[in-house]
Amino acid sequence: MSLLLYSYWRSSAAYRVRIGLNLKGVDYRQEAINLAPAVSAQRAPTFRQINPQGRVPALATPDGLITQSGAILEWLEEVYPAPSFLPAGRVERARVRMIAQTIAADIHPLNNVSVLGYLSHAFGADNAATIAWYHHWLREGFDAIEALLRDWAVEGFVVEDRPTLAEIYIVPQLANARRFRFDLSPYPGLCAVGAAAEGLPAFVAAAPEAQADAVAS
């Protein structure tokens, strides 16, 4: 099956999908869409024709173009059921989905590149204010996840002994946190999850620095 991922090395949403594709062992090609403000390839009419939302990730599949990392991951899970992104137990499935949603719905949308740009252009937020905003929403979300991990007595992977949807969302969000110099010392549980997953081949190959467009940006 021929799959083409529109991606950007620094996009944490695309990073989730790269991890997912690698965990499934699926062969895919990538086309880099440069989101750097000075380049803004996502605003180019050519990419808007492919994905009218102008965002990455987007995956070209035999079923058509699929956008939204969560929708792409669900599609992958349906087309390539093994190994599954989801644990066997209902309680465990709910747990990994809780974590994924906290990141996908409560942290990431508030800290997206276009949101940060709008804060600056429309409201005059300077760099310090923008970073304070970024850290605020990260803290809100990470506090919640850290408390859950503590309640569930997680040490390492969130459930079972392998990465699931939880690690697919946590690892890229941790990378964003480090990039924006967010203090991770209050989050030993999250860091332990990251440490359990980050060295696995599927995660190493998906990391931002490992992407071909990292050098070019």
Ligand X SMILES: N[C@@H](CCC(=O)N[C@@H](CS)C(=O)NCC(=O)O)C(=O)O
Report if residue 35 touches ligand X, rule: CB under 6 A: yes
Question: What CA–CA distances, in Å, run from 24 to 21, 79, 93, 211?
Answer: 5, 10, 18, 18
Min. distance of Cβ 31 from ligand X in angstroms? 14
- Cα separation, 176 vs 126, whole angstroms: 19
State the number of binding residues for ligand X (CB under 6 A): 15
Report if residue 113 touches ligand X, rule: CB under 6 A: yes
- Cα separation, 99 vs 148, whole angstroms: 9
Burial class of 149 by CB neighbour count within 10 A (0 to 12, 13 to 18, 19+):
buried
Min. distance of Cβ 103 from ligand X in angstroms? 9
Min. distance of Cβ 80 from ligand X in angstroms? 19
Identify residues 81-110 at the interface with ligand X (CB under 6 A). Answer: 104
Q: Rg of the chain over CA atoms, in angstroms?
A: 17
Options 30, 69, 164, 211; binder of ligand X; rule CB under 6 A: 69
For ligand X, the closer CB: 68 or 84:
68
Report if residue 42 touches ligand X, rule: CB under 6 A: yes
- Cα separation, 140 vs 144, whole angstroms: 7
Identify residues 182-201 at the interface with ligand X (CB under 6 A). Answer: none
Min. distance of Cβ 129 from ligand X in angstroms? 18
Min. distance of Cβ 105 from ligand X in angstroms? 8
Q: Which two tokens stand for residue 58?
A: 């987007």
Q: What is the 3-state secondary structure (H, E, C) of 155-182?
A: CCCCCCCCCCHHHHHHHHHHHHHHHCCC
- Residues in contact with ligand X by CB under 6 A are 11-13, 35, 42, 55-57, 68-70, 104, 112-114
